[in-house]
Amino acid sequence: MKRPIIISGPCSAETEEQTIITCTKLAETQKVDILRAGIWKPRTNPESFEGVGELGLMWLTTAKRITGLPIAIEVANAEHTHKALEYGVDYIWIGARTTVNPFYVKEIANVLKGTKVKVLIKNPINPDISLWSGAIERIAHARGIENIWLVHRGFSAYGYSEYRNTPLWYLIFDIRRQFPDMKILCDPSHICGNRENLLNISQIAADLNYDGLMIESHICPTAAWSDANQQITPNELKILLDALKWRDVNNDNSIFSYSLSKFRSEIDQIDSDMFELLSRRMKLAEEIGRIKLQSNVSIFQGQRWINVVERILSRANRLNLSATFIRDVLDAVHAESINRQNEIMNKKK
């Protein structure tokens, strides 16, 4: 399969006309490999549009016949999965609200036993990687690992966020480490929740070596019955895909390889030095724990912590490090240091 794999289509199939025109226009761009549409929509609000159901499967089958492109729908239970198989759907995806629920994943897996349909598993809505890997393993048991792809659609967060679903890119490295042979796609539409950021998020996914993108597209995005803020027209999708740079995953050029390994060995040395220093710092924290215990002094002294942070923050410019990064590192170091003192003072290590 080519890289990038592009999946596109409306958030929801709404009418026959909207589904078929969107899909044929997407096919005309010659950039889209798989057509998508939601036909059963898991909505937060019961008043929202909940999808057209089986009718949508008929429209998508027509779109497949006209364009020659494979089709994908979301399934959330055994009944949906039976219907998808009955209509010869080529790809099914398990949505974020279903990945969280082992009961539903299990019943979908049971229907999939021995079938050929390809399965895409979106990350769960909450940042719990083991829930995601559990769902992947359940489906892999039923279907074999080869035809499972992963879809990163971001994680919901409490309070204000610039994203609809925060990407938390570093969590995705964990799942890729666990399933190194599985393709992973990014769904910038549900990460952004708007049109403006789609290119930016798609470019990050390309630079992190994702295998493709799932992007929602609609002939008239502002009139869409679901996710109107984030959909783009087929023509806008073409412009976005033309602007994206998919760089090589690797390069055999000897000058490049030599420079890369030289920089990497320096980085490895710095990592070793950094952790030797951190180990020494933790030994000192334990010594402090011992004397605080002897003198009956509490672990945390607010003013000292403010001083530690301010001392390093005042060097942020000279070090060319952002204040957020300095805070994150110091918070992690401080948390470990408190753990060590707690071990000494309360568990008598």
Dist CA 98 CA 105 (whole Å): 7
Q: Which is nearer to ligand PEP, 96 or 201 (CB)?
A: 96
Q: Which is nearer to ligand PEP, 95 or 289 (CB)?
A: 95
Q: Which is nearer to ligand PEP, 96 or 213 (CB)?
A: 96
Question: Smallest distance, Å, CB 12 to Mn ion?
Answer: 7
Question: Smallest distance, Å, CB 10 to Mn ion?
Answer: 8
Dist CA 62 CA 68 (whole Å): 10
What size, in residues, is the chain? Answer: 349
Question: Smallest distance, Å, CB 133 to ligand PEP?
Answer: 17
Please give the residue whose beta carbon sits closest to ligand PEP in the complex: 95
| Sites of contact with Mn ion (CB under 5 A) | 11, 227
95 binds, among Mn ion, ligand PEP, none (CB under 5 to 8 A by kind): ligand PEP
Question: Smallest distance, Å, CB 164 to Mn ion?
Answer: 10
Burial 135-164 (b: 16+ CB within 10 A, else e): bbebbbebbeeebbbbbbbbbeeeeeeebb
Q: Which is nearer to ligand PEP, 97 or 176 (CB)?
A: 97
| Sites of contact with ligand PEP (CB under 6 A) | 11, 38, 74, 95-97, 122, 153, 187, 190
Question: Chain centroid to CA 291: how far?
Answer: 46
Reported as half-sphere exposure (CB side, CA atoms, 13 A), residue 224 has a value of 24
**H or E stretch at 119:** strand 118-122
Quote the tokens at residue 40.
Answer: 């059963």
Question: Smallest distance, Å, CB 108 to ligand PEP?
Answer: 14
Q: Which is nearer to ligand PEP, 138 or 190 (CB)?
A: 190
Measured in Å, how far apart are the chain's first and last C-alpha atoms? Answer: 56
Quote the tokens at residue 4.
Answer: 């990038």
Q: Which is nearer to Mn ion, 47 or 146 (CB)?
A: 47
Q: Which is nearer to Mn ion, 124 or 289 (CB)?
A: 124
Task: Please enumerate in sequence order all residues whose Cβ is within 8 A of that of 3, keeping only pairs 6 or more positions apart, or say none.
Answer: 211, 212, 246
Question: Smallest distance, Å, CB 84 to ligand PEP?
Answer: 15
Q: At 121, phi and psi to the nearest 5? A: -115, 115
Q: Which is nearer to ligand PEP, 240 or 285 (CB)?
A: 240
* CA 106 vs CA 124, 131, 317: distances in Å: 15, 13, 53
Question: Smallest distance, Å, CB 42 to ligand PEP?
Answer: 6
Q: CA dihedral defined by 156, 160, 166, 168, rounded to 10 degrees?
A: -110
Task: Please enumerate in sequence order all residues whose Cβ is within 8 A of that of 34, keeping only pairs 6 or more positions apart, or say none.
Answer: 5, 6, 7, 8, 69, 70, 71, 72, 90, 91
Question: Smallest distance, Å, CB 227 to Mn ion?
Answer: 4
Name the burial class of residue 51, with classes exposed (0-12), middle (13-18) and buried (19+) by CB atoms within 10 angstroms of its CB.
buried
211 binds, among Mn ion, ligand PEP, none (CB under 5 to 8 A by kind): none
